[in-house]
Amino acid sequence: MKDLRCPLCRQPLLLNSLGLTCENRHQFDRSKEGYFNLLPVQNKHSREPGDAKEQLQARRQFLQAGFFDLLKKRLQTLLSPDIQTLLDIGCGEGYFTHAFAEALPQAQVYGVDIAKAGVRLAAKSAIDKNRNLFAVASSFDLPFADQSMDAVTRIYAPSKDEELWRVIKPEGLLVIVAPAENHLLGLRQRIYAEVRPHESPVVPNGFRLMASERLTDELVIKDKVLCQALLTMTPFAWKLAENVRMQLEAEGLVDQLDFGIYCYQRDN
């Protein structure tokens, strides 16, 4: 646990019989599912920050059906076997974090998310609860030591440039995935009168862009339950008119997946 630091006093966290503690005796118990809550109550801006439990369960159902497998497999190939520590920011219910642990059997893989319901789901399904560790934490105040990560992944999640630079080792890898121009374009056209294209992420301060690519695939959903799952997990879908939602669930959805993948290297 040398990679973790106390979110209250910034001292290293060490394992004890109950969970994690620091030299100032701040104690963080391991939950029955295996995760740690490293989000101080004073840093919570609502009772249950992050995605709702319903959204996260829908996301798990949709992802486990294989619709994002192309993205998952591509991300796995981008990870060097030399990586010993990886942090997945905004891990949600753990679909991609588990994939990274699978691709890096020798590495310590961490997943953090501000939504406790997602971290609980992720930790519960972790195969190795010591090597693949999950924590409730803010991506803007990461409970990790300086220069502790060989790689950080950020898929559809916010972050703070200074925190990314702080926790990644010099010349370490940062992978950001963001929706590209045509991602779910058909669905967005049914929601908005004017569809604005997704913008590419700005290069984070302290990093340089090494490579970028577009990954596209057709999305065909015929099953009503899986169509409901997509609409529930998609942030903008709550704006759908009820009659349009019912039509989509009855007829299914044919659309396009369009991902932008950006690989950065941390400056020294």
pLDDT, tens digit, 9 for 90 and up, residues 22-34: 999 999 999 999 9
Q: pLDDT above 90 covers what percent of the chain?
A: 78
**How far apart (Å, rounded) are the C-alpha atoms in residues 268 and 206?**
8
The CATH code belonging to domain 14-266 is 3.40.50.150
pLDDT, tens digit, 9 for 90 and up, residues 209-223: 999 999 999 999 999
Considering only CA atoms, give the Rg of the chain: 19
Place of tokens 């926790």: 167
Report domain extents, the chain: 14-266
**How far apart (Å, rounded) are the C-alpha atoms in residues 163 and 149?**
12
pLDDT, tens digit, 9 for 90 and up, residues 92-116: 999 999 999 999 999 999 999 999 9
pLDDT, tens digit, 9 for 90 and up, residues 129-184: 889 999 999 999 999 999 999 999 999 999 999 999 999 999 999 999 999 999 99
- 47: region left, alpha or beta (phi > 0 left; psi from -120 to 50 alpha): alpha
Q: How far is CA 198 from CA 16, 59, 263, in A?
A: 46, 21, 18
Looking at residue 1, its pLDDT comes to 64
Which of 237, 246, 249, 44 minimizes the C-alpha distance to 140? 44
Looking at residue 163, its pLDDT comes to 97
